[in-house]
Structure 1
Amino acid sequence: MSQASVSPGVRIHPSAVVEPGAKLAAGVQVGAFCYIGDEVEVGENTVFGPHCSVHGPTRIGRDNRFAGHCAVGGDPQDKKYRGERVELEIGDRNLFREFCTINRGTGGGGGVTRIGNDNWLLAYTHVAHDCQVGDHCVFSNNATLAGHVTVGDHVILSGFAGIHQFCRIGAHAFVGMGAFVNGDVPPFVMVAQEGYGRPRGINSEGLKRRGFDAGRIAAIKRAYRALYVAGGSMEDARARLAELAEGSEDVRALLEFIDSGERPLLR
């Protein structure tokens, strides 16, 4: 093995390789045939199953779980990448199932890919360079983020969902199985497969599970109708949302999301 910085209580399988520049905090477990590279920092009690690879510069928080064959911190899959120093940051208490792939950032895209806390990324999910993922998200099997995607908190991506580069997915949104998203998805909105994904109401069941009361959900439904059902122009929808936002912080957040985007809204 190497002269990595290894705290007490770390368990490393004899077949694993840990490079000298790695730092492993107390309670970390490294499974059979893993590779932990230079400039990788791992927080307390994080566990790597067999055949995982982690390349640096990467910082991983505490209490994460990586199932077998995860590939973490690899070079960005971008032809413009020329070997510049770019990073990956992962928070705490995340679960990454088999064959997850997560790339570092690019020099032209901010330089850092970030994943927050308490997320579940299931088998074969992919997070590309410069993505920013919030907290409490669930990515089902084979869900894929292209580069520069921003995902808010409490987002669910169903199996085989694909998100186009530079898109934003607002907090509490739900993207259905197999939907391909090529525009920004506002907070609270559900997207269903129909060629490219199309909005299909709000994620009311998910909001109920997270403690949203009937009044908050009703306000969000009114905002959705103004944006997607009323049939007016985008300017008309913004004007109506501005009225609704006066009495609802959730609608105000939705309106701020719309006004801050660079890509067209998914409609």
Structure 2
Amino acid sequence: MISLTSYIGPKARIGRNVEIAPFVYIGDEVEIGDNCEIMPYASILPGTMLGRGNRIFAGSILGAAPMHREENGHGRLIIGNDNIFRENCVITTGSFGRATRIGNSNYFGADISVQSGTLVGNRTTIQAGCKIGERCEIANVVLIQHMTLVDPDISIGTLAEVQALCHVGKKVPPYITVGGPSADFCLLNTLRLRQSGVPEEAIVRLRMACLQIYHCGYTPHAAVKRIEAKYGESEELHLLLKFLSDVRVAER
């Protein structure tokens, strides 16, 4: 059902069974997939592509122009399926050839902003009041708790967790929980690993690797090699090592 009090641009493409509440604005060059729900006073601006089954709550703005002085008009915002955007979310389009991309089955709490060029994977939760800077990369099944600020160009790995009220100014490896005002303490996120079905043997390897990297002073490569020599190889260890190795190369 489409309310008569909403505006839909003549070049917008609307899928089947889409509910558009009163006072919604949908611009030109917008694509909305089947079975989406768009609540009152939401705006979907040019350059936005929505997949199936998304829910956009009241007052949210999807496809806002990039928020920097050098913004060069609307780029692209590409959103997958079954995402939830609670009240007053602001998601900007990409700029300078890099789109903002959001995967599937993510949850965005109220009053958050995601800046241009950021990539969000699948099944990630970003709770109310968070601010995500430009060109961040947030992997799958990440939890970012309330009122957290993430600086531009930050990567957050799979199954990582950022506790509430953090200022994240450095990359967060996979499987790690960080907390404190500057995200300066970390520990292995064993609870979420178990909830995601990671085998206990893999969790033991990851715990030993984190102990050696963060508390014994080994390099990531040396720590992983020591763990593999004792316990055997692990897909989770290789993902952790790749992430940490990429971080070291980028920071040189």
**TM-score interval, normalised by the smaller of the two chains:** over 0.9
Distance 1:207 1:35, change over 3 A: same
1:244 aligned to 2:207? no
Distance 1:47 1:139 in 2: 20
Give the 3-state SS of the residue equivalent to 2:211 in structure 1.
helix
The counterpart of 1:28, out of the listed 12, 18, 25, is: 18
Distance 1:157 1:175 in 2: 5
Give the 3-state SS of the residue equivalent to 1:206 in structure 2.
helix
1:38-93, Cα deviation, whole Å (9 max, x unpaired): 0000000000010000111111000000111111001001211122x510000000
1:200 aligned to 2:186? yes
Kept in 1: contact 2:220–2:241 (CA 8 A) = no
Distance 2:85 2:16 in 1: 20
Please say which of residues 237-246 and 223-232 is displaced more in the overlay: 237-246
Alignment match, 2:92: 103
How large is the RMSD of aligned CA atoms in angstroms?
1.5
Give the 3-state SS of the residue equivalent to 1:260 in structure 2.
helix
Kept in 2: contact 1:183–1:263 (CA 8 A) = no
Distance 1:134 1:223 in 2: 25
Alignment match, 1:150: 137
Aligned length, in residue pairs = 248
The counterpart of 2:57, out of the listed 61, 67, 82, is: 67
Deviation at 1:263, TM superposition (A): 5.1
1:136-158, Cα deviation, whole Å (9 max, x unpaired): 00011111210000000000000
Amino acid in the other structure paired with 1:129 = S
Amino acid in the other structure paired with 1:226 = Q
Alignment match, 2:83: 94
Runs of 5+ consecutive residues of structure 2 not aligned to the other structure: none
Kept in 2: contact 1:184–1:264 (CA 8 A) = no
Q: TM-score, normalised by structure 2?
A: 0.94
Deviation at 1:231, TM superposition (A): 3.1
1:184 aligned to 2:171? yes
Give the 3-state SS of the residue equivalent to 1:191 in structure 2.
strand
Percentage of identical aligned residues: 27
| 4+ runs deviating over 6 angstroms | none
Runs of 5+ consecutive residues of structure 1 not aligned to the other structure: 1-10
Amino acid in the other structure paired with 2:77 = L
Alignment match, 1:5: none
Deviation at 1:240, TM superposition (A): 1.6
Kept in 2: contact 1:166–1:263 (CA 8 A) = no
1:90-146, Cα deviation, whole Å (9 max, x unpaired): 000001100111000011xx4200000000111111111000000000011111210
Distance 1:186 1:229 in 2: 15
Alignment match, 2:157: 170
The counterpart of 1:78, out of the listed 68, 87, 90, is: 68
Give the 3-state SS of the residue equivalent to 1:238 in structure 2.
helix
